[in-house]
Amino acid sequence: MMTQPADCDVLIIGSGAAGLSAALELAKQAKVVVLSKATLESCNTQYAQGGISAVLSEEDSLDSHVEDTLNAGAGLCDPDIVNFTVSQGPERIAWLIEQGVPFTQVSDSEGHNSYHLTREGGHSHRRVIHVEDATGRALVSTLSAKVNAHPNIRLLEHHIAIDLITGTKLGLSTSRCLGAYVLNLKTGKVTVLSARFVVLATCGASKAYLYTSNPDVATGDGIAMAWRAGCRVANMEFIQFHPTCLYHPEAKSFLISEAVRGEGGKLLLADGSSFMSRFSSREELARE
Ligand SMILES: Cc1cc2nc3c(=O)[nH]c(=O)nc-3n(C[C@H](O)[C@H](O)[C@H](O)COP(=O)(O)OP(=O)(O)OC[C@H]3O[C@@H](n4cnc5c(N)ncnc54)[C@H](O)[C@@H]3O)c2cc1C
């Protein structure tokens, strides 16, 4: 395996926002293969509604976004990571706009257009840029059109990475990751895909819960593969719970936008009594 040329320079496992954007950047100088466990639409990105927070208005500041994030994190955030992520925000949004994501705009009385920014819980400024109430769907369709048209990117839907191949597992002197075993769901065959570099963009494991707003693909495969390959795994206790989901015993659950509560919606038990203050003392979470 070490003596043969790799099937690609970079194998990206996952085709959500993370995988597709990594592919587009890396394909400027590398041959890239992107794996999608099911169809391109079966990812968390497709379901994201509200939008993406970043400092985009002159009244806002990076310091304020950092402060809000640290407050929301209740002392658990790493300030260096928060600083890095917040300061990257405006540039990342500019990149998405450059790719053609049609973020919602508004016109002022003089006919000047600007991006519409909403405000969500925990933010002291309007800083959530969005595409109506289906931001993720717009991201997937814009980025996947670019990925599909790119000569350096091969996109394989219905291909599941089963395990990473490392030098250690093959008894070689290197511990590098050399590729992955991949199951083609259409043929039922497992093949080896070798790569000079492997990127895991497989998202989380929320399907471990009985009720979830996540699609079926969110089974934590990437975390498990990384663990088996010898990576450190951390922060598994941090799971975002959406407080409002539609539940029906015979239908798939889906998120009822948190914007509903932002606009004054109340969470009540069947007898009309309120209960959220039992779970959070924070004002916007406890709102009933
Ligand atoms: C209902 C809902 C609403 C949300 N709303 C917002 C919002 O308003 N704003 C916000 O910022 N965030 C929101 N989020 C969170 C956001 O969607 C995710 O954090 C983000 O999309 C994650 O992107 P990703 O690329 O890491 O993962 P995903 O988009 O989940 O992509 C993971 C990819 O990995 C692939 N994959 C997994 N395992 C394998 C395997 N073994 N082999 C091959 N491929 C594999 C999957 O097929 C998929 O393509 C929301 C999430 C949900 C579920």
Give distance in angstroms: CA of 33 to centre of ligand 1. Answer: 18
Of 263 and 167, the one with more pLDDT: 167
Our answer on whether the CB atom of 136 is closer than 6 Å to any ligand 1 atom is yes
**In angstroms, rounded to a whole number, what is the distance separating the alpha carbons of residues 245 and 258?**
10
**pLDDT for residue 128 is more than 60:** yes
Neighbours of 141 (CB within 10 A): 17
Q: Where in the chain is the domain with CATH 3.50.50.60?
A: 1-47+135-238
Domain 1-47+135-238: give its CATH code: 3.50.50.60
Distances (CA, A) of 169 to 44, 113, 126, 173, 205: 31, 56, 50, 10, 25
**In angstroms, rounded to a whole number, what is the distance separating the alpha carbons of residues 283 and 277?**
9
**In angstroms, rounded to a whole number, what is the distance separating the alpha carbons of residues 13 and 11?**
6
Q: Report the share of the chain in percent with pLDDT over 70.
A: 95
Q: What predicted TM-score, i.e. pTM, was given to this entire model?
A: 0.92
**In angstroms, rounded to a whole number, what is the distance separating the alpha carbons of residues 158 and 134?**
24
Q: What angle do CA 156, 157, 163 make, to 5 degrees?
A: 75
DSSP state of 274: B
**pLDDT for residue 267 is more than 90:** no
pLDDT at residue number 1? 45
**In angstroms, rounded to a whole number, what is the distance separating the alpha carbons of residues 49 and 225?**
29
Give distance in angstroms: CA of 255 to centre of ligand 1. Answer: 14
**In angstroms, rounded to a whole number, what is the distance separating the alpha carbons of residues 286 and 272?**
16
Per-residue confidence band for 191, with pLDDT thresholds at 50, 70 and 90: very high
Q: Which atom of ligand 1 is nearest to the CA of 38?
A: 47
Our answer on whether the CB atom of 17 is closer than 6 Å to any ligand 1 atom is yes
